[in-house]
């Protein structure tokens, strides 16, 4: 699998459209499409951006060796962020309130809040 194919694999794994993925990377949708088709070379800047923004293991992206993501936490955070951005503002507020309540429950359960 080439680096171009691994970029496409990351996007598919995150369930992001080319438009959303390219916006997150500050590149045009057309440029991303050309990369995924193998018509454009992938430069170090793009590899660094994908690694930083999506938590992708830079080594895996370059060579295919190792894990796709640096950590499960990085993947989970990116996935939650992508899903959160899809929600209407009123639902985003609801999610934030639910997270606050979960943190309170966690603090009570571990005795952190005492």
Q: Where residue 26 sits, what CATH number does that domain have?
A: 1.10.260.40
pLDDT digit string (tens) for the chain, length 114 residues: 999 999 999 999 988 999 999 999 999 999 999 999 999 999 999 999 999 888 899 999 999 998 888 877 777 777 788 888 889 999 999 999 999 999 889 888 876 655
Whole-model pTM? 0.65
Which residues does 102 contact at the CB level (< 8 Å), separation at least 6?
Answer: none
- For residues 52 and 90, membership in a common domain is answered with no
Strand partners, 1: none
Task: Give the model's pLDDT for residue 82.
Answer: 83
Domain that holds residue 89: 79-110
- For residues 27 and 47, membership in a common domain is answered with yes
- For residues 96 and 47, membership in a common domain is answered with no
Task: Give the model's pLDDT for residue 114.
Answer: 52
Task: Give the model's pLDDT for residue 111.
Answer: 67
Task: Give the model's pLDDT for residue 112.
Answer: 62
- For residues 64 and 85, membership in a common domain is answered with no
> Which ranges in the chain belong to alpha helices (H)?
3-13, 18-25, 29-36, 44-54, 58-63, 72-86, 89-110
């Amino acid at each position: 699998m080439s680096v171009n194919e691994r970029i496409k694999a990351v996007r598919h794994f995150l369930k992001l459209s080319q438009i959303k993925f390219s916006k997150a990377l500050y590149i045009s949708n057309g440029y991303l499409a050309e990369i995924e088709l193998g018509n454009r070379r992938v430069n170090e800047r793009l590899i660094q951006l994908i690694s930083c923004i999506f938590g992708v293991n830079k080594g895996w992206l370059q060579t295919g060796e190792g894990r796709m993501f640096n950590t499960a936490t990085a993947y989970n955070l990116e996935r939650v962020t992508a899903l959160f951005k899809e929600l209407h503002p009123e639902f985003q507020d609801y999610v934030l309130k639910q997270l606050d309540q979960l943190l309170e429950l966690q603090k009570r359960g571990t005795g952190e809040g005492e």
